Amino acid sequence: KPAVHTRWNDNVAILSGDAMMIWAYRLLSQCDEAVLPQLLAVFTDVAVGVCEGQQYDMDFESRDDVTVEEYLRMIELKTAVLLAGALKIGALCGGAEPVQAELLYRFGIDLGMAFQLQDDLLDTYGDPAVFGKPVGGDIREGKRTVLLADAISGADQRQRRTLIDMFSSQSRGDDDVRRCIELFEGTGAIDRSRRRIRALWQGTLHAIGDLRLPPQDERTLTEACMRFIPIIKA
């Protein structure tokens, strides 16, 4: 559905976001007083992290030297901490031990980062009918993704110049998208991204195992991961 700022305007969207944040704190205030300080600490850390991640993402739009490490840190803050924080808050509300709550937080970080890296990959290779976005949309928009950062890092001088010039341009057409994907493949960025996703996926499985849940609960959590990132096992 249309985003709030599209259906109405930016001011309505900002005000709506402020109101939703207030409602979130209202709901948190209804939780068990014994764990409320911990819940508030997690919630505020997540909220600040998401804002920091979004600022990094905006800063990257005008940079050609974004490193893979910087990009990974950005998606950890912008995407992964939201999932991780929700899991930890749920664990604390459910009476989990501190070690279990931290394991679920780490599980959420790995899963959230794997999801975002997979999202970047699907932009290049996904089926538009399933993915919901046209292939190469990030390239056309000039968006800095892990694939671009990795490709620039692993490129020779000519390839690097081509990529920088392409993303410095005001627009990129079908030929640019094809050439960019070729460079992503030729520099090894695609393969390295797939390896990162699988490593993060293994991290989520290890975290589930370390939780020592009953078999049925472990199976439920694993199946939820597979629905969250259905293509990751391919």
pLDDT per 10-residue tile (average), the chain, 234 residues: 93 95 93 93 95 93 88 94 94 91 92 90 71 72 87 89 84 82 90 91 87 88 75 45
State residue 218's pLDDT score: 87
Host H or E run for residue 202: helix 189-210
State residue 101's pLDDT score: 93
Residue 159, judged by CB atoms within 10 A of its CB (0-12, 13-18, 19+), counts as: middle
Residue 164 near residue 152, CB atoms below 8 Å: yes
Q: Which distant-in-sequence residues (6+ apart) come within 8 Å of 16 by Cβ?
A: 4
Cα dihedral sign for 143, 147, 151, 154?
positive
Output the CA angle 199-183-67, nearest 5 degrees. 55
Q: How many CB atoms sit inside 10 A of residue 177's CB? A: 19
Write the CA distances from 177 to 25, 31, 171, integer angstroms.
44, 49, 11
State residue 42's pLDDT score: 95
